[in-house]
Structure 1
Amino acid sequence: MNYKILHVIILLIAVVLGNACIEKAQPQSSQEKLIVVVSILPQADFVEQVGGDKVEVIIMISPGASPATYEPTASQLKAVSSAKMYAKIGSGLPFEEVWLDKIRSVNPDMLLVDTSEGITLIAMEEHHHDEEISGHDGDISGMDPHIWLSPENAKILVQNICNGLVRVDPANKTYYEQNKEHYIHDLEALDLDINESLSGLKNRTFMVFHPSWGYFARDYNLTMIAVEVEGKEPSASDLEHLIKTAKEKNIRVIFVQPQFSTKSAEVIAKEIGGNVVPVDPLAKDYITNLRKVSNTIAQGLT
């Protein structure tokens, strides 16, 4: 067994035993905040927008960390033991696939909300482009987990989060639903702004290192080309092909994200006389970030 996984399992056992030794907690007072756990920063923004001053959010994947490799800390696991709800992405995020069952064992009574419910998944860029899964009750391996990078999908995520908050705190149903409606209105305005910023572009093909932006590309009639090949750095022949493609498509910008290496992107950019530009799919301020990303992509394709 991997030593790091064994270490976390030991921590899980310690947390569970520690909770068992504590006297039964008193009922939650009206002044206490609901503790809600999420996997990534954008989800935290969604929960805070709906929950307002009635929630406290625990974010499992630290800023700058990769969902493919992050491991929870002992302090995070201890905090989870007091949570009322875990809002999971539910679309095959690697962190959740590996750790969620172990995390839930710390607090089996917390409500687990699948925020992807109702979203149609699409295949990752390196898989079949015409493949989709509606409802995704079956195998979701090979599907694109980055569902939050579509404002249309974000509205569904927010609705599911609201439903979960109402289940654990029905007394504040009206408060949560009013906040949800206000934020969905903001997401609709964001969608209009992105459409406007990307309208009129003749070149609609962009290159990224990690294929995070598939739903964004789908929604706004763009074509995404990924440098990464099935989660790995491209080979020399892959790089040669990507450089040729970039030249043919008149690509001058390679978009990268802080959670991954930029080495391959820099090689391609040098060969095509282009630039490497950062965009972060995991930034917390969702609306501000997506506006920034759309403007950055528009400038890169102009």
Structure 2
Amino acid sequence: PGANPHTYEPTPRQLKRVVQADLYAIVGSGMEFELAWLGRIRRLNPRLFIVDCSKGIQRLVDDPHLWLSLRNAQRMVENLLEGLSRVDPEHSGRYRERAEAYLEELRKLDAELSRLFSKAKGRAFMTFHPAWGYFARDYGLRQLVIEQGGKSPSPKAMVRLAKEAKEEGIRVIFASPQFDRRAAEAMAHSIGADVILLDPLARDYLENMRRAAHAIARALRVSP
């Protein structure tokens, strides 16, 4: 948990656990390590049942961060429930009970955030890494991204982005702890903004989504 999913490699101990597992859940978003390791995992454990948690989710182009949407998370829980019930039907009732309890928490938080951003439709926030596109889509926001094609932008692109940021009144730039923050800090310096970290991989999912939402709301100067 917390490792950079773009460069992650499983440890020998983790691979051993996969060999012994009955079910393997993938985000299914095209994340590099999943694509790179899925074939090997299938060879290590041919009987392994693989659940694609992205089934039924409408994708955004070039954005694998499906989980940074409470609405996507609901579908992911449902997909995982379906897989667990198929692999272990004896305990399907218990899985369903726990899934429904968690789904209710996801729905409540989504409703809370919908109210929070109800008066911010069309407003823009700026990030270094394009991780929050699904979140922006859920609540009618716009994500301005510094990173270009997985790389820091050219000087010309930085000038264009700085102009756009000033026009949008950007005073905060969000960065991820998994990535180099120098480009974000350079942009922040050029427009007089602060850099704030949002961790897309924090352990406590619900609390992290709430914390990130309120950080974005403050950046947009939206009152709870």
TM-score, normalized by the shorter chain, greater than 0.5: yes
The residue aligned with 2:179 is 260
The residue aligned with 1:207 is 126
**1:106 maps onto 2:44 in alignment:** yes
**Aligned-residue offset at 1:301:** 1.1
The residue aligned with 1:67 is 5
- Provide structure 2 residue ranges, at least 5 long, that are not aligned to the other structure: none
The residue aligned with 2:164 is 245
8 Å contact 1:208–1:255 — kept in the other structure?
Answer: yes
**1:185 maps onto 2:123 in alignment:** no
Partner of residue 164 from structure 1, selected from 53, 74, 83: 83
8 Å contact 2:121–2:139 — kept in the other structure?
Answer: no
The residue aligned with 1:234 is 153
Question: Are the structure 2 counterparts of residues 202 and 172 from structure 1 closer, same or farther at C-alpha, using a change threshold of 3 Å?
Answer: closer
**Aligned-residue offset at 1:249:** 0.8
Instruction: Report the number of matched residues.
Output: 221
The residue aligned with 1:295 is 214
TM score, norm. by length of structure 1: 0.71
Residues 145-204 of structure 1: per-residue CA shift (max 9 Å, x gap): 111111111111000101111111111111111111111111110101111222323771
Query: How far apart, in 2, do the equivalents of 1:183 and 1:66 lie?
Result: 26
Counting aligned pairs with the same residue, the percent is 47
The residue aligned with 1:23 is none
* Amino acid paired to 1:67: P
The residue aligned with 1:25 is none
* Amino acid paired to 1:260: F
* Amino acid paired to 2:8: Y
Larger Rg: 1
The residue aligned with 1:147 is 66
Query: How far apart, in 1, do the equivalents of 2:204 and 2:159 lie?
Result: 37
2:126 match: secondary structure? strand
Query: How far apart, in 1, do the equivalents of 2:66 and 2:7 lie?
Result: 19
The residue aligned with 1:280 is 199
Kindly report which structure 2 residues correspond to 1:17-96, keeping only aligned pairs within 5 A, or say none. 62-63=1-2, 65-96=3-34
The residue aligned with 2:58 is 120
Query: How far apart, in 2, do the equivalents of 1:301 and 1:249 lie?
Result: 10
Query: How far apart, in 1, do the equivalents of 2:61 and 2:143 lie?
Result: 13
- Provide structure 1 residue ranges, at least 5 long, that are not aligned to the other structure: 1-61, 125-143
1:233 match: secondary structure? coil
Query: How far apart, in 1, do the equivalents of 2:165 and 2:49 lie?
Result: 47
1:147 match: secondary structure? coil
8 Å contact 2:121–2:141 — kept in the other structure?
Answer: no
* Amino acid paired to 2:39: D
